[in-house]
Structure 1
C-alpha cells in the first residue's frame, strides 16, 4: 500500500522551515482547508494543506501556529489551485491567506462539462487515481488528529496541480481559457454575502408555528441559542436542535418546569441551560416588536404564478429558457454556469426598453453576468424576447 509523504506543522520553528521549502518550490501551490462544520460555531480552518512541486505536502495546524503571514509570503506570488474555492477562501482569509489568482478544479470541471465534479471524481477522470473520501465530514478540531485523517488530508492536495494541468489542456482544447479565467476571478473577488435580515426564520420546522407572538418566542430562543453557541464555539444544532426549539414554542409551557417536561425538547444543553431557554421564552412573550407572519422579500414570484401575474414576462421566460438550455448543451457546460436561472428570471420579469442585443447585454452586466456570459447569451435572450412578443400577438391578429 502506497503511503503519502507529508509533514505536519504545529509549531513556529517547523512553520518557518516549511514556508522556506514552499517558497523554494516551483509552479502553482495546491491549497485545501479542513473545518469543523457541524461541530463548531466558527468556520475557521483547523487544518490547511499545501503542496508545491519541489517542496512536498505540508499540513499546517493554524490554531497551534498562530500568525500565518509567513505562509502568505511564501506562496502569495503564485497561482493557488483549490477545489470548490468558494468554500475555502473565507476560512483562508480569516488567517490572512489571500491568493493573487486561483485555478478552481471543481469549477473548471463544470465549465468543461464533466458529469461528476467532486474531488474524487475529477482526480479519477483526469489522472486515473482513486481517492478514498472517508473523513470529509469529520470534526477537524479534534486533537491529536488520527493518522488516517492526516493521510486523507494530504491526498486532497497531492494531485491537485496535476489535475489543474490536465484541465487546463482541456480548456485550451474547448477554447474556454478566457471563460475559466473570468469565472475564477469572479470567485476570488466575490464580496461576502450580506448577513440575512432575519436569520432566525431559517429554523427548520418554523412553518408549523402560527401567530406573531409565537414567532417572537421562536426568534428569542434562536437568538439565545446563537449567542450561547458562539460563546462555546459549538454548532448551534449540537446544543439544541431546531426541532427542539420549535417543539418548545408549540408546547407553549406555562412554567420552566413545564418546559423541562417537554419530551421533544432535547439536546445536550436543553436541560443544563434550562434557565437560559426559559428566559428567552419570557423575553419573546414580552417583546413589543412582533415579527410579521411572513418575511418580506424582494424576490420574484415563482415562475408558476407568472402566467396570471405577468403574462408577458411568462412568455419571455418560456421563450428564452429552452434556448439558453440548448446553448449550454452546445457549449458543453451546465446551464447554471452559462447563466444563473435567477438572472434569466429577473431580466424576463423586467426587461430593458427597447429590447435589443445592446440593452439586454447592459441589463445582464448590471445583474452581475460576466463578460463571456453576456457575449454569448445577450443575442439569444434578446431574440427570444422579441419572438415572444410576436408569438403572443399572432393569435389576436389571425382572429381579427
Structure 2
C-alpha cells in the first residue's frame, strides 16, 4: 500500500505503540495430553468470549491443516497448542460449547479447526465486522491500529509454521494476535452499534457459524492461475493432467504443489505443448531444481494430455447450474441483461449510501441468478423469497428487496441502432449527393 505524501503544513502524528510482548508472558507450547487437560479445565472455567486463531503452513505443506492453535480467555490466559502433537482437540471444543468465539476472517480458520474437533456455536468475526463498519482496510494489523491505537508486527505471518521447534519470536507473534481480539471485538461492537449495524453483524456471524463445510470443487484444476491464457481444449487437457500429477506428488511428499511446479509453468507447458522431455525442459518454468528433478513425471503428464481422445477433451467452461457469464447476456437475453444492469446500479448505490462493500450487501451470484430467472409475477414478496433461498439474510432483504424489484420491473433492453436505409442501385450516397428530383 502506498502512503499519501505529507502536506508541507502537516505534522506527522506520533507513531503508534508497538505490541512486542504478551501481557502475561509467553506461555509454553502445549504438546502432550496432560498439559492439554489443564488447558481444557482452565478455559472451561474462564469467563467471557474466547479469542481463537490458527496458523497454517500454506506454501510449505500440502493442504490447509493447522500447525498452531492459539486461544485466550479471561481467567484462563493464553494457550498455544501444537496440533501436530495433539490432533484431537474435541475436548477443548466441548469445553467452549456455547461460548462466543472471536476470530479474524473466520472462514479461513474454521475448516482447519473443525478438522481438530473444534466448532463454534456462536462467533464474532472481526474482519467481517470491519467490512460492515465500512473500515477502509480490514487486515488485522490495520484494524487494530484504527480501533485500538496499537501496532502489531506482522513479519511472521507467512512463515513455515510446520517448523519444529517453533522459534520464540514466531510464538510471540501468535500469542499477540489472540491478545488483541477480544478488545477489538468490543471496540467493533461499539462502532457497529453507533452505526445501527450491530444486528446486521449478528445475522452475518450466525450465518458463518451455521454454514456447512465448503464443498470441494468438482474440477479443482480449473483454479490454476493463468488458465484464461489457455486457448484450446487440447491445451486444457494438458493443464488437467499436469495439475493431477503435481497434486498427487505434492500429497505424497507433504509439500505445497507450487513448490514442485508453479502454476505459470503448468500453463506455459500447456501452451507450448512440448512433445519430448527435452522440449519440456526448455519450457519456461521448468528450469528450477524442483521442476527438473521430476521432469519424467511432468513429461508423462503432458503426454497423457496429448493422448486424450477428442471426444473426452475438457470444455472451456465447466457445466454449472447457474446462468451464463454476464458478458453474453446482451446477445442471449437482452431483457435479462437490462434487469441485471438496473439491479446492480441500485445495489451499488445502496451499499455506498450505507458504507458497505457491495458484496456484503448482497452476494453477486444471488443477484445474477435473480436477474436471469426472475419470479413471475415480479413482485417484492417473490423477489424476497428468491433471494432468501440463495442465502440472503433478513437485514439484506429488508434493504434490497423493494429497490431491486422496482429496478428490474422498470428495466428495458437497450434499443438497437436503426439501420441506414439502403440506397437504390446506382444511386449516389454521401453529403455531396444531389437532392432527389
Do they fold alike, i.e. is TM over 0.5? yes
Aligned equivalent of 1:61: 82
Query: Any unmatched runs of 5+ in structure 2?
Result: 1-18, 416-437
CA-CA distance at 1:338 after TM superposition: 1.0
CA separation in 2, counterparts of 1:328 and 1:126? 22
Aligned equivalent of 2:129: 108
CA separation in 1, counterparts of 2:374 and 2:284? 53
Deviations 1:135-194 (A, max 9, x none): 111111111212211111111110111111122222333332321121111112222333
CA-CA distance at 1:261 after TM superposition: 5.1
Aligned equivalent of 2:100: 79
CA-CA distance at 1:201 after TM superposition: 2.7
1:295 matched to 2:330? The reply is no
Aligned equivalent of 1:3: 21
Aligned equivalent of 2:432: none
CA separation in 1, counterparts of 2:386 and 2:284? 54
Higher helix fraction (1 or 2): 1
Structure-2 change in CA distance of 1:178 and 1:275 (3 Å): same
Aligned Cα root-mean-square deviation (Å): 2.4
| Match 2:382 to one of 355, 359, 362 | 359
Aligned equivalent of 2:69: 48
Query: After the TM superposition, which of the residue ranges 165-174 and 241-250 deviates more from structure 2?
Result: 241-250
Query: After the TM superposition, which of the residue ranges 184-193 and 128-137 deviates more from structure 2?
Result: 184-193
Query: Any unmatched runs of 5+ in structure 1?
Result: 394-400
CA separation in 2, counterparts of 1:12 and 1:150? 20
CA-CA distance at 1:255 after TM superposition: 3.8
| Match 2:332 to one of 304, 309, 312 | 309
Does the 8 Å contact 2:387/2:397 carry over to 1?
Answer: yes
Does the 8 Å contact 2:131/2:357 carry over to 1?
Answer: yes
Deviations 1:6-30 (A, max 9, x none): 3121222222222222222110100
Does the 8 Å contact 1:83/1:119 carry over to 2?
Answer: yes
Aligned equivalent of 2:185: 164
Aligned equivalent of 1:132: 153
Counterpart of 1:231 in 2: which secondary structure? helix
Does the 8 Å contact 2:275/2:303 carry over to 1?
Answer: no
1:346 matched to 2:366? The reply is no
Structure-2 change in CA distance of 1:142 and 1:381 (3 Å): same
CA-CA distance at 1:223 after TM superposition: 0.8
CA separation in 2, counterparts of 1:77 and 1:124? 30
| Match 2:405 to one of 378, 382, 389 | 382
CA separation in 2, counterparts of 1:19 and 1:280? 49
Counterpart of 1:65 in 2: which secondary structure? coil
Aligned equivalent of 2:266: 245
CA-CA distance at 1:2 after TM superposition: 5.1
Larger Rg: 2
Does the 8 Å contact 1:352/1:359 carry over to 2?
Answer: yes
Q: TM-score, normalised by structure 2?
A: 0.83
Structure-2 change in CA distance of 1:355 and 1:155 (3 Å): same
Counterpart of 2:53 in 1: which secondary structure? strand
CA-CA distance at 1:112 after TM superposition: 1.6
CA-CA distance at 1:302 after TM superposition: 4.3
Does the 8 Å contact 2:226/2:264 carry over to 1?
Answer: yes
CA-CA distance at 1:260 after TM superposition: 4.1
Does the 8 Å contact 1:238/1:267 carry over to 2?
Answer: no
CA separation in 2, counterparts of 1:209 and 1:189? 38
Counterpart of 2:151 in 1: which secondary structure? coil
Structure-2 change in CA distance of 1:242 and 1:326 (3 Å): closer
Counterpart of 1:270 in 2: which secondary structure? helix
CA separation in 1, counterparts of 2:376 and 2:63? 46
Structure-2 change in CA distance of 1:190 and 1:267 (3 Å): farther
Does the 8 Å contact 1:239/1:267 carry over to 2?
Answer: no
Task: Name the count of aligned residue pairs.
Answer: 392
Aligned equivalent of 1:371: 394
Structure-2 change in CA distance of 1:251 and 1:354 (3 Å): closer
CA-CA distance at 1:257 after TM superposition: 4.6
CA separation in 2, counterparts of 1:313 and 1:209? 30
